[in-house]
Structure 1
């Protein structure tokens, strides 16, 4: 196990013991959120991402070790395993390197070389490798003529085919080619004569060159897609002749020989016909894998920030789902997310019943104490935003509006879950409710939608589906457990993502609370069917009971630490009923932590968590992020001036920059080059989805209705 862990520790810059403890906890069936929150003393405070990476890298190291053992065994069965091969296998850090070592020994499908061997020409090829100085090659070839090989040229061709495959399989030659392509090669793309790219989506790649070693991930993704759609061809160009000459010298050892010309022909053929296409495919696959991993990282990071947007607590919200022909669907929800009413208006063409629309909207604003109008950002969104801004201004209402991403709203609205929740409503009306709820409590609403439908990634349809799903499911689980859930109000969709729970146990909790009028304490959870001791241990700390019989049930303190928490409260002379008060905050802040650790027998991590919970029992992790940007007026393209200062919301972060909603029809792009004067490697180091940022207008393209932005003050 030690040899598997050491490379991971070095790569992640953490101790071997931290990895051992983490793997042991995972082996015992503990979830990542539980380990990250309640076993910090064992992992040295590793977070969810570090634990996930440890698990993934350990699995890869285990697979690498198993493949090394398998290849060594397979070579040994042929009686060809040497100390040199053992050392080469031991040094491998990638599966592709192991396959290159195994290549000369693996059973091959029928090739020109295997065909030549079957015809009895292997001894002839081996004779050539002795580099004879005297004699006649044709005369030697004549010795190998038989019913399958009828001419000297056929014998020579067969021997060259065998030598060509040997050159292609040679480990050092393959390393040389790989090094040349990776470090000195260029990716070159060319436009195909006939293709379907009417909108010139891939115009940048019609004639594009980039060094292999430094090509950006988003360029790889774009090229892969353009190649798949048969718009371009992609190749790697490098100094082939240098590598061929190097390989020839390796085979001829710079000696003069009567077979030198034959060997030169064979090696050249082996490299051009066999090795280069094979290695180019490997490098292209590794580049694609790297780019896909980066895209999955970006997608998961964006999704996490979207899920963790701060809720607009205690607000009555009107959801506004824009459309032209079919009308704009409206839905009012109260401060708990309960639907109060639905309606429809037709403020836009082709119907354009503007005054009637304003009357209906005013009636809703008069009947209900609406604080915010949440407008979906789909079709007719900016026209609807203009209509709403004008309506608020005309009626002098103290109401703000905000744009809300409606990605996935239609998916939810047509789902079984939405039909069960609102069986009497149309799909569009359900969508308006979803849009409103997305700012009341983004996590609780977005959890109902397949993460892949939320639309905060790049090239998501080109990513390996299973890897993407696994990673996004992890992000959803991480977000839910970071925030915690109210066990008496959470939906089954929210509950099933809690550490230690499943869809079945989540339904069991909902059924139990419906039958018993609620759950009054965490202890009561153990009575619920499908909640065993392990499930209780993993889930209890993330399930909150705000008005229960046990005051600590409202906090993030785990029941296993209640005795210790009461001991801390006693030492601080804080009454349990006072947790969260100003006095409790002051006592927690001024505590002698070293003394408390000794007296209460606690480790540093658990004590810090207890003190934090005593000071802020209902703290919401999401409050540290920017709340949605509320507006009361709109921005038109003609209003904009170059160098004008604006505030906007980051909607999506990608490899080449960030898209920012500044209130225009289309989001503006801040290119990576316009983000910071400091050195950084990815836009995610500068901004995140949901951030409210200051930008300046860099360029206005009125024809395309696009705006380029900069975060660098002019």
Structure 2
């Protein structure tokens, strides 16, 4: 089975079987995905972390499929029913659905009506009537009437025979696959409102009478309808014949069943009985079975899409540009309880805290100004981070005015505070700041996440960062697994300074467990900074395998070995020495010598130990040692005087920050406490199939306000700055109703509904 798995994965990834085989071996040997992607390129011929993650996931599925296949073969063999043909079919099955279809007739189950009928001796009757329609059912059934066996009359005999045939049809793997393929192509998912739930379920009104191809339902609409069903507002049904004449008494699928068995149903004596068998089998057994399967597949597909959206957004947030090691003042805005202020130095060390009250109800502008002026002067603050929660715009306005009056050119940045409260109340924060008020810890987090989003956000459960779509409706296990992989890949892509990294950050480094990370910090606290990577081997419980996996991702700045601050792995240090010798340069003179390194040819230094791919990678790393893959730091400038949704007017052009990207568009923060939606059709003048082709979370963009609904807190935006609200409305009116499928949440929220954002958002259409 292993060979077939390798071949399948190779086809799915469109790579050579040898690459897959090597990657599987490396994974089985306990190597991490970041390590394989970064330091085993030679072996895998360049498989990247995305391909390896997909391979890892599919490998688990295919191995589970193989294990299930073995169990099924053993079960059928023990029953003495395993024919060579059946064995071939089971071995060839490529999905769990196909495998379970084949196993269905042999699967141990509770006594059914069909089994009871077989025990009563009715199987010959079923076979006779099914294969010879010239037989008269009542006459043929008469000899099978045996009251002692529960067959009281001919009707009972015919009912039993029908039950036998219904179960045969429902367990015919070939028939099920034929019907499954038809439903994939033609069936629709129909949603209707439960009577009496119209008012209570108003948020689902877009689906009160809705249907669309079940194979093409976007994930956000699927999850919205599934949530509506779970809340008792909607009824969902699989409609196999959406275009069928309502007057028709026979389903297209019933006709397909007859054709599958090459039955010509006419006026023969047993044809009416055979038609009943087919109709009952379809409506009572097969349709219910396939509807359950399709609904489960729809949910799984929608969940996977939603998880992928969350993962993509999370990666963008984690890989956002860091402001760098600059003294930063963080403000967690508030009203009644005041604004919490914390100052941290360039390394994130807490220097000072305070609570100020510049906003309602106190409006203590003078007192708040004195505190901030004192902090800025005494700590030489060069950045101010303002959380984007309650009173954020009022607080930012106060800070901006203060800086202007004091003639200070300090950059003020609005920072997402999603998850800050989670961190504040966490055990980690309590251990880090045992004597600090919980609310003040949030201000520290806000300041630090501006300095280095990745280093700070790894302390928070990724699910709390709030860039997901329907995150509470999806498998929490699968979501956590996917997000953890994203965090791990991001941390290792950037690299970690081992002498300043926190335990949570170190935990995300390839090969390090939570215990190892804590031991590194404890060792550092007791023995001082690490001067080289080799010293890591002295850390308790950090053995050779863990060292192999983590060493290349841990940086030792200003250490004894210049290579330790780069991404060059210790195992390739001999290669660097070889290059240095052949170029007559010292190793430290080689590091960063871009001109020389770019003139070298990898093949000239390749050997049996280090191939050309590895050499090229080392040369690239030496040219830009420890390079940070994250973009340059830049921020949006919110418009003055635009603090609330009521300040927005259609036609305004504003600058904002993309906070979330979904399948149907992007949400943009323009500084009014409520994110606006740029529908996918308004992202560009060209056709856009995936919003991430145009924007990602954290991007600074220019938008035009198309519509404002203050009562419903909805803002329609366009990135096509030539659009006008009037033209947009006219286009919407001319647009066919069937095409107006703009679906969006009521607000930018991880738990928001994926329903239509009113017809206004459908107006942001393609020109």
| Aligned position for 2:153 | 151
Report the 3-state secondary structure (helix = DSSP H, G, I; strand = E; otherwise coil) of the residue aligned with 2:75. helix
Report the 3-state secondary structure (helix = DSSP H, G, I; strand = E; otherwise coil) of the residue aligned with 1:460. coil
| Aligned position for 2:522 | 511
The 1:367–1:198 alpha-carbon spacing in structure 2 relative to 1, beyond 3 Å, is farther
- Could you tell me which runs of 5 or more consecutive residues in structure 2 were left unpaired when the two chains were aligned: 242-249, 723-767
CA distance, structure 1, for counterparts of residue 142 and residue 449 of structure 2: 80
The 1:630–1:228 alpha-carbon spacing in structure 2 relative to 1, beyond 3 Å, is same
Report the 3-state secondary structure (helix = DSSP H, G, I; strand = E; otherwise coil) of the residue aligned with 1:332. strand
Report the 3-state secondary structure (helix = DSSP H, G, I; strand = E; otherwise coil) of the residue aligned with 2:238. strand
The 1:601–1:632 alpha-carbon spacing in structure 2 relative to 1, beyond 3 Å, is farther
The 1:573–1:671 alpha-carbon spacing in structure 2 relative to 1, beyond 3 Å, is farther
The 1:312–1:249 alpha-carbon spacing in structure 2 relative to 1, beyond 3 Å, is closer
CA distance, structure 2, for counterparts of residue 490 and residue 86 of structure 1: 56
The 1:594–1:132 alpha-carbon spacing in structure 2 relative to 1, beyond 3 Å, is closer
Q: Is the 8 A contact 2:201 2:233 kept in 1?
A: no
Q: Is the 8 A contact 2:141 2:157 kept in 1?
A: no
CA distance, structure 1, for counterparts of residue 478 and residue 672 of structure 2: 35
Is 1:552 the counterpart of 2:563 in the alignment? yes
Q: Is the 8 A contact 1:72 1:81 kept in 2?
A: yes
Deviates more, 1:432-441 or 1:126-135: 126-135
Deviations 1:336-372 (A, max 9, x none): 1111111111223333333333333333333332222
Deviations 1:635-656 (A, max 9, x none): 3457655454433221111121
Residue 187 of structure 1: which of 174, 186, 189 is its match? 189
The 1:242–1:631 alpha-carbon spacing in structure 2 relative to 1, beyond 3 Å, is closer
The 1:626–1:654 alpha-carbon spacing in structure 2 relative to 1, beyond 3 Å, is farther
Deviates more, 1:134-143 or 1:231-240: 134-143
Is 1:684 the counterpart of 2:692 in the alignment? yes
Report the 3-state secondary structure (helix = DSSP H, G, I; strand = E; otherwise coil) of the residue aligned with 2:511. coil
Report the 3-state secondary structure (helix = DSSP H, G, I; strand = E; otherwise coil) of the residue aligned with 1:379. coil
Deviations 1:651-676 (A, max 9, x none): 11112111112223211211112223
TM-score normalised by structure 1 residue count: 0.94
CA distance, structure 1, for counterparts of residue 704 and residue 371 of structure 2: 38
| Aligned position for 2:176 | 174
Report the 3-state secondary structure (helix = DSSP H, G, I; strand = E; otherwise coil) of the residue aligned with 1:666. coil
Give the superposition deviation at 1:571. Answer: 3.2
Is 1:226 the counterpart of 2:228 in the alignment? yes
| Aligned position for 2:45 | 44
Q: Over the residues paired in the alignment, what is the CA RMSD in angstroms?
A: 2.3
| Aligned position for 2:603 | 594
CA distance, structure 2, for counterparts of residue 348 and residue 142 of structure 1: 93
Residue 248 of structure 1: which of 247, 255, 258 is its match? 258
| Aligned position for 1:651 | 659
Give the superposition deviation at 1:409. Answer: 0.9
Deviates more, 1:674-683 or 1:20-29: 674-683
CA distance, structure 2, for counterparts of residue 643 and residue 46 of structure 1: 48
CA distance, structure 2, for counterparts of residue 377 and residue 245 of structure 1: 60
Q: How does 1:209-220 map to 2 (within 5 A)?
A: 209-220=211-222
CA distance, structure 1, for counterparts of residue 535 and residue 271 of structure 2: 85
TM-score normalised by structure 2 residue count: 0.88
- Could you tell me which runs of 5 or more consecutive residues in structure 1 were left unpaired when the two chains were aligned: none
Give the superposition deviation at 1:303. Answer: 1.3
| Aligned position for 1:354 | 365
Deviates more, 1:191-200 or 1:460-469: 191-200
| Aligned position for 2:270 | 259
Report the 3-state secondary structure (helix = DSSP H, G, I; strand = E; otherwise coil) of the residue aligned with 2:215. helix
CA distance, structure 1, for counterparts of residue 208 and residue 404 of structure 2: 50
| Aligned position for 2:465 | 454
| Aligned position for 1:369 | 380
CA distance, structure 2, for counterparts of residue 444 and residue 468 of structure 1: 21
Q: Is the 8 A contact 2:667 2:678 kept in 1?
A: yes
Report the 3-state secondary structure (helix = DSSP H, G, I; strand = E; otherwise coil) of the residue aligned with 1:37. helix
CA distance, structure 1, for counterparts of residue 459 and residue 22 of structure 2: 34
The 1:2–1:679 alpha-carbon spacing in structure 2 relative to 1, beyond 3 Å, is farther
Total equivalences in the alignment: 710
CA distance, structure 2, for counterparts of residue 490 and residue 632 of structure 1: 37
Give the superposition deviation at 1:688. Answer: 1.7
Give the superposition deviation at 1:573. Answer: 4.2
Deviations 1:483-539 (A, max 9, x none): 111111111111122111111111221222222122111111112221111111111
Is 1:290 the counterpart of 2:301 in the alignment? yes
